[in-house]
Amino acid sequence: MRMPLRWLAEYTDLAPGTSGADVAAALVSVGIEEEDLHGGDITGPLVVGRVLELEEQVQKNGKPIRYCVVDVGENGQMLTEGKHQEIVCGAQNFEVGDLVVVVLPGATLPGGFQISARKTYGRVSNGMICAEDEIGLGHDHDGIIVLTRLLGEEASADLKPGDDAIALLGLGEETIEANVTPDRGYCFSVRGLAREYWHSQGSPEGGFRDPALVETPASNDLGYTVRVEDDSPIDGVAGCDRYVARIIRGIDPTRPSPAWMQQRLTQMGMRPISLAVDVTNYVMLAVGQPLHAFDVDKLSGSIVVRRARPGETLTTLDDVERTLSPEDLLITDGGEHLLAIAGVMGGASSEVDASTTSVLVEAAHFDSTSIARTSRRHKLVTEASKRFERGVDPALAATAAQLAVDLLVEHGGGTVDDGVTDLDRTTEPPAYLLDVTEPSRIVGLDYSRERVVKILRDLGCTVDESGQGTDETHVLVTPPSWRPDLVNDSPGPDYAEEVARIDGYNNIPSVTPTPVEGQGLTHGQKTRRVVADALAGAGFTEVLTYPFVAESLADELMLPADDDRRHAVRVANPLSEERPLLRTSVIASLVDALRRNVSRGHKDVALFELGLVFRPGGPLGRAPIPSVLQRPDADTLEQLYAAVPDQPRRAGLLATGLVERAGWWGPGRAADWSDAVAAVRTVATALAVDVVVANDPGHAPWHPGRCARLTLPDGTLVGHAGELHPKVLAALDLPPRTVAAEFDVDVLVSASAEPVQARPFSTFPPALTDIALLVRSDVAAADVEAALCAGAGEALESVVLFDVYEGERVEAGHRSLAYRLTFRAADRTLTTEEVNGFRDAAVAAAATATGAVQR
Amino acid sequence: MSGPNTNYDPVEVSALDPANVDAAVQEALTAIAGAGSLDDLKAVRIAHQGEKSPLALANREIGALPPSAKAEAGKRVGQARGRVGQAIAARQAELEAERDERILVEERVDVTLPAVRRAAGARHPIELVSQRLADAFVGMGWEVAEGPELESEWLNFDALNLGPDHPARQMQDTFFLDPVDSGLVLRTQTSPVQIRTMLEKEPPIYVVAPGKVFRTDDLDATHTPVFHQIECLAIDKGLTMAHLRGALDAFVRIMFGEETRTRVRASYFPFTEPSMETDFVCFACHGTGHDESGAQCRSCGGSGWIELGGSGMVNRKVLRACGIDPDVYSGFAFGLGIERALMLRHGVQGMHEMVEGDIRFSQQFGMEV
């Protein structure tokens, strides 16, 4: 919502010299946030120009550029060189003869942008033809301003090249743009913002001049017939509880709206259109009541407000044919001919136009929920819908209609009908018995009863200190008609906010809360940090990827048809249609980051990510949406939780290129399957969790011969690690031999939950013995090692595989595994005979289990 | 070796003559001093301390002296041998020190040669900042709460007083899931964690909830469809907006330092009443609203302040939906975007760097921020 300072000064006192920044700061102090400041920061020359010639040339980059000659009156090059202004312009939306806004060298535009003659696209441009956003008039940058379009033909008729455009467009005056929160619909008006500014100045007596304080005639039987026939109110709330209609006849349709009004509308970011439309907009901006002007001559019956019927359509003012929903509230002519979507947008057929002489001004009050739903349904946000959605002051309708009538009569020369229609079913908001100590209790700052009452009265509340229920600490408060946000079943906190806001939020003290006790981080939270830190310590860099993946990814990852990872959640409104699914594994999205790094020239990349994956296991269920009036019952809660699909926390890692660098010390070492397995083992070791590794020949997306399956000793799956399948790498455009691991962090969290029990260790000397075992090549080293451990007995301290040999010195299809066994007894030094016995037992066990033969 | 010769005049044994002994000592000392290496010294030791050295030979003569002369001669030779021995030991130490010194010099390498053979990994700073904030609050007695990213609509919206028609629900551009009536969404905020906590725990509750959230914004310099928030929730008897400010101040101190200037202002959020917004002085223009050239500050848009995040006293309706009696308990909640904090605290220029996964980004932060 915008507000020019001079308009603000009409409704409240503005000390001389008050700047836009001062007003913005004052408004912030009462909770109205500044969005932007416009105007006041342009220094001329900024003038009206008429395009005399234009020559368009398409540039090498394909962009058409116009070399223009513009008449800017007795300014610029006319003064210095005796010729018209030569300007280079990139916009296309104007023709020879158009009136435009020209900024000349020497001027400064908003943001301190200084204009000088400069060479561009091969020629000197002596200034610039301006777009709206360049001079702070709006946010439009689709083309330059053509004044006949911006101000209308009539208003532009008297303009001459060289006229000062700063004054013309009201750019010399500062305009504040405030960000209005959804609870403060009344601030969508200069009236509302002026009231807030007045509060920021301490609400001085007589300092606010309410523009809505005008006499209005009473409703009578002579007015235009209006019927409200809402047969399906939403949640029992009538769609329309007030409808004021006034008629002015004999308006001169050629009369433009006055220049001051056009200027204000322009400052507010709206386009002047015609007197009738400008007046309705102006009054809306002034007091916050959206108005609609119908051409009386296009109406044939009474106005009927009703809900749409299934299948009805209406072409709105924006020339879009809209299929209506039975929830949409309509304004109709006689119930049949559709005039407007109530409170949102008028229809094209009843629009006032250049021949309109009789106008019906509608000032109505519509239900905010109804308007909000309609606006959302039709994706149609208008100045009217914005206000109705946030709540319009229901007491304003007659006043706003009167303000519009007065302006139309004054500037259009018509006469107002004696008939006054005011269908008023609004009710006074109920009084609330407020505990005056409640604001202090909620805010944590003592406000006296007097202070609370004064603030509430300044806000427009009626405060009854003697009615039923009142005592030393209780008063009856009735909020003003423009504050529907203060009407709810427990407005205490709302009043507390008002008191704190007007008193000043910055007066609230700062008191550090003191929780009684905390348990610190949970085991799971600590474990996750260990996992991430261990991976980072092992050379992997953490990244955070978007979980959105393509439908084709499951195939690219070669997931089998029945793989659970094919059950992905689908986003109904994805940012990109190409990536509508949520990842079911971390690797699925981590590959994107790897590819990006590689494309940026990083050859050696090791990445990891720790995050949730989405595993619905099938189609999504339906989560209940219970009432919020109380805690859902246990069953409903259980359904609510159960409907949320499984989201295990997993870690994924990828590595390509060298894991050990080449350098002066020699060649580097490329990442291979073992690095992926080692990374998972490193994590498990950091958590003191034992993992068992087995060859897994059939787990996508890994290489069938280079994939490790990692489990807990009890068989619980931890994850997989190894080299990715070459076809997967090719399909995903990843470097050959890229390795990967993915594991379930939650499993590791559970596996490490119990405190580690210390194992005693012996201080007697160890006995070492080496063995070489010949095994078939398809025997897993892990199986051999397990057999050795099982056979060696309790004195075995460690088994280290220190050599693997496959080649001509061993039988074909076999390999030799060389182990160092370390034995140590808890209570004595072992004898050679004992050690040899253990060793032979170990070898025998390996022989039995794996067919190993000692070499 | 000769046996005792009682008729022998000791004076006549020239090897024991004091002058000769002295000469032998002097000769030895000269040789010791002249030994230039440990090998030289070894030769000197054999020559002057060995079995055939003059002093050793002289010592042997003592046995042949009459008892009356033995003591004096023994003393003389003993002292002489002692001096030589000491000198050798001293020289030995000197030469060993020299040798050790030389070895160290010879073993010199250029330690500025690149030495890291394994590339370092790194944590993502978003995670590190979340940890930092969580740790600070844990230190004050709070706990860390978590929840799923794919969340029920009821927990993400309805329970937070964001009914289907609430204007604020429109402000949040939500990723809905297929089927649209599943009642599930990608959470748009970490606030459903508040609801889960209140449903699961009895007050008093003091939790921080860091996490990933989703909104249908296209990636640009200041937006990303997936970002991170951290949220604090306190529910206890007697909590006020003053406590909210206290917690917020702690937050700002931890994140941005003691000197950070903040302001608070009234705001509106459906899940809080009263609501509050906290701003802090723009780090780029220090509150002036314009840069050095006088142009409008790009970081704050000219206002001089940057929004930190929304907060407020938990709406009574929210407490009620969670089964907490709003007449007994009150509470506050606040949240902020971690990406924003990272931009402010570490000068990260835009969202792209944080989400693209370029290893150079994470690697510049190390393991602690």
Residue B115 falls inside a structural domain: no
A15 touches chain B (CB under 8 A): no
Residues from chain B that touch A519, judged by Cβ atoms under 8 A, are: 143
Is B368 part of a structural domain of the chain?
Answer: no
Same domain for A269 and A121, yes or no, is: no
Neighbour tally for A246: CB within 10 Å: 26
Give A570's DSSP letter. Answer: B
Do A614 and A741 sit in the same domain of this protein?
yes
A703 and A567 assigned to the same domain? yes
How many Å lie between the alpha carbon of B358 and the closest alpha carbon of chain A? 6
Query: Does residue A71 sit within a domain?
Result: yes
- Are A81 and A194 in a shared domain? no
| B213 and B359 housed in the same domain | yes
Q: CA geometry: angle at A377 spanning A372 and A380, to 5°? A: 75
CATH number at residue A659: 3.30.930.10
In this complex, do B293 and A372 lie within 8 Å of one another by their Cβ atoms? no
Over residues A208-214, mean pLDDT: 94
pLDDT at A368: 92
The residue from B53, B72, B106 where one domain ends is: B106
Residues within 8 A of A (CB atoms), B 296-315 only:
296, 301-303, 313, 315
**Residue A812, in any domain of the structure:** yes
Structure-block tokens of residue A204: 């001085």
Nearest chain B residue (CA) to A442: B240
pLDDT tier for residue A774 given thresholds of 50, 70 and 90: very high
Q: Cα separation of A628 and A648, whole Å?
A: 29
Residue at which a domain ends, from B45, B74, B106? B106
**Chain B partners of A111 at a C-beta cutoff of 8 Å?**
295-296
Residue B1 pLDDT greater than 50, yes or no: no
pLDDT confidence tier of residue B5, bands split at 50, 70 and 90: low
Chain B environment of A494 (Cβ under 8 Å): 273-274
Tell me the residue range of the domain where A774 lies: 767-854
Position A415 scores a pLDDT of: 94
Average pLDDT value for residue range B136-147: 94
Residue A641 pairs with which residues in a beta bridge? Answer: none
Query: At residue A173, does pLDDT exceed 70?
Result: yes
What is the Cα–Cα distance from B16 to A840, expressed in whole angstroms? 74
Beta bridge partners, B46, equal none
Quick check: B12 pLDDT over 70?
A: no
> pLDDT confidence of B169, banded at 50, 70, 90?
low
Residues 6+ apart with CB under 8 A from A542: A532, A535, A536, A607, A608, A609, A610, B121, B122, B123, B124, B127, B362
**Same domain for B158 and B70:** no
CB contact under 8 A, B140 and A606: no
CATH code (residue A783):
3.30.70.380
Q: Is B116 in contact with A664 (Cβ distance < 8 A)?
A: no
- Per-residue pLDDT at A618: 86
CB contact under 8 A, B362 and A500: no
| Chain A contact for B323 (CB, 8 A cutoff) | yes
Query: What share of chain B in percent tops pLDDT 70?
Result: 95
Residues B66 and B203 in one domain: no
Q: Which of A507, A535, A564 is the last residue of a domain?
A: A507
Clarify whether residues B93 and B131 are in a common domain: no
* Residue A571 to residue B186, Cβ atoms within 8 A: yes
- Best interface-test mutation with B: which of A186, A628, A646, A745 has the largest number of B CBs within 10 A? A628
Whether pLDDT at B2 is above 60: no
Give domain status of residue A269, yes or no.
yes
pLDDT tens-digit series, residues A609-631:
999 999 998 889 899 999 999 99
The verdict on residue B4 lying in a domain is: no
Q: Does B245 touch chain A (CB under 8 A)?
A: yes
Beta carbons within 10 angstroms of residue B249's beta carbon? 18
Which residue, among B132, B140, B152, would best test binding to A if mutated, counting the most A CBs under 10 Å from its CB? Answer: B152
Residue A692 forms beta bridges with which residues? A711
Has residue B295 been placed in a domain? yes
Searching chain B, which residue's CA lies closest to the CA of residue A534? B121
* Same domain for A194 and A157: no
Radius of gyration in angstroms for the set of CA atoms belonging to chain B, rounded to a whole number: 44
Mind listing the pLDDT tens digit for each residue in B265-290? 999 999 999 999 998 888 778 888 88
Specify whether B56 is located in the same domain as B133.
no
Report the SS3 class of residue A310.
coil
Point out which residues pair with B226 in neighbouring strands.
B214
What is the number of domains present in chain A?
A: 6
Q: Please indicate, yes or no, whether residues B151 and B258 belong to a single structural domain of this protein.
A: yes
What are the helix (H) ranges across chain B?
18-34, 38-49, 54-62, 67-106, 125-139, 153-156, 167-171, 191-200, 241-256, 316-321, 338-346, 351-356, 359-363
Q: Structure tokens of A209?
A: 């001049």
In terms of domains, do B292 and B229 share one? Answer: yes
Report CB contact under 8 Å: B206, A513.
yes
pLDDT at A750: 97
Token pair 């959206």: residue: A290
Contact B266 A515 (CB under 8 A): no
Q: Is A509 within 8 Å of chain B by CB?
A: yes
CA neighbours closer than 13 Å in the CB half-sphere of residue A619: 7
Peptide bond into A45 cis (omega under 30): yes
Provide the CATH number for the domain around residue A29. Answer: 3.30.56.10
Question: What average pLDDT score do residues B153-175 get?
Answer: 81
Quick one: B29 and B161 in the same domain?
Answer: no
Residue B205 distance to chain A (closest CA, Å) = 8
Phi-psi region of A36 (alpha: psi -120 to 50; beta: other; left: phi over 0): beta
Q: Is the ipTM of this complex over 0.90?
A: no
Residues A583 and A542 in one domain: yes
Q: Are residues B200 and B303 in the same domain?
A: yes
Find all residues with CB under 8 Å of B47, minimum gap 6, and list them.
B28, B31, B53
Q: Assess whether B98 and B189 both reside in one domain.
A: no
A577 contacts: CB under 8 Å, gap ≥ 6: none
pLDDT confidence bin for B257, thresholds 50/70/90: confident
Query: Of A367, A395, A424, which residue constitutes the final position of a domain?
Result: A424
Q: Are residues B209 and B71 in the same domain?
A: no
Residue A493 lies in a domain: yes
Number of domains in chain B: 2
Mutate to test the interface with B, among A573, A607, A635, A683 (most CBs of B within 10 A): A573
Residue of B nearest to A114 (CA): B295
Last residue of a domain, one of B42, B75, B106: B106
Name which residue leads in pLDDT, B169 or A231: A231
User: What is each CA distance from B84 to A30, A33, A755, B17, B37, in whole angstroms?
Assistant: 98, 96, 67, 17, 17
Residue B70 lies in a domain: yes
Place of tokens 């890229």: A738
pLDDT digits (tens, 9 = 90+) for A541-564: 999 999 999 999 999 999 999 999
Check whether residue A57 and residue A195 sit in a common domain: no
CATH code: domain of residue B231: 3.30.930.10
The pLDDT of residue B191 is above 60: yes
State the pLDDT at residue A109.
Answer: 82
Task: Please tell me if residue B235 touches chain A, with a CB cutoff of 8 Å.
Answer: no
B47 CB within 8 Å of a chain A CB:
no
**Residues in chain B within 8 Å Cβ distance of A184:** 268
Given A401, A424, A447, the domain boundary residue is A424
Q: Say what the pLDDT of residue A461 is.
A: 97
Mean pLDDT, to the nearest integer, of A816-822? 96
Q: Is the pLDDT of residue B7 over 70?
A: no
From chain A, the residues in CB contact with B266 under 8 A are 30-31, 497, 500-501, 505
Single-letter code of the amino acid located at A766: P
Asked if residue B157 has pLDDT above 50, the reply is yes
Chain B 54-113, CB below 8 Å of chain A: which residues? 113
Phi, psi (degrees; rounded to nearest 5) at A839:
-60, -45
Domain ranges, residue B70: 10-106
Assess if residue A831 is contained within a domain.
Answer: yes
Residues A477 and A556 in one domain: no
Cβ atoms of A92 and A98 closer than 8 Å: no
Percentage of chain A with pLDDT > 70? 99
Instruction: Measure the CA–CA gap between B347 and B322, rounded to whole angstroms.
Output: 40
DSSP B149-169: SEEEHHHHTGGGT--TT-HHH
Q: Are residues A547 and A438 in the same domain?
A: no
Write the pLDDT tens digit of every residue in A423-454.
999 998 999 999 999 999 999 999 999 999 99
- Range from A346-360, A738-752, B52-66, B291-305 that averages highest in pLDDT: A738-752
On whether both A142 and A19 belong to a single domain, the answer is no
Are residues B152 and A445, on separate chains, in Cβ contact within 8 Å? no
Å between B295 CA and nearest CA of chain A = 5
Band the pLDDT of A3: cuts 50, 70, 90: very high
Dump pLDDT digits (tens) for A578-593: 999 999 999 999 999 9
Hey, is the C-beta of A742 within 8 angstroms of any chain B C-beta?
no
pLDDT of amino acid B172: 58
Q: Is residue A89 part of a domain?
A: yes
The Cα of B103 is separated from the nearest Cα of chain A by a number of Å equal to 23
A218 located within any domain: no
How close is the nearest chain A Cα to the Cα of B128, in Å? Answer: 10
Same domain, A681 and A716: yes
Q: Is residue A741 part of a domain?
A: yes
Q: Is A343 left (phi over 0), alpha (psi -120 to 50) or beta?
A: left
Q: In chain B, helix, strand, coil percent, each to 5? A: 45, 20, 35
Distance in Å, alpha carbon of A151 to nearest chain B alpha carbon: 29
Picking from A500, A632, A659, the nearest residue to B274 by CB comes out as A500
Is B319 contained in some domain? Answer: yes
Residues 6+ apart with CB under 8 A from A160: A48, A73
Tell whether A387 and A442 lie within a shared domain. no
The residues pairing with A316 across neighbouring beta strands, listed in sequence order, are: A347
State in Å, rounded, how far the first CA of chain B is from the last one.
Answer: 84
Q: Within this chain, do residues B151 and B202 fall inside the same structural domain, yes or no?
A: yes
CA angle at residue B136 from B133 to B141, to 5 degrees?
125
**How many Cβ contacts (< 8 angstroms) between chains A and B?**
310
Q: Is B363 in contact with A541 (Cβ distance < 8 A)?
A: yes
Using a CB–CB cutoff of 8 Å, tell me whether B353 touches chain A.
no
The verdict on A832 touching B (C-beta cutoff 8 Å) is no
How far B84 CA sits from the closest chain A CA (Å)? 47
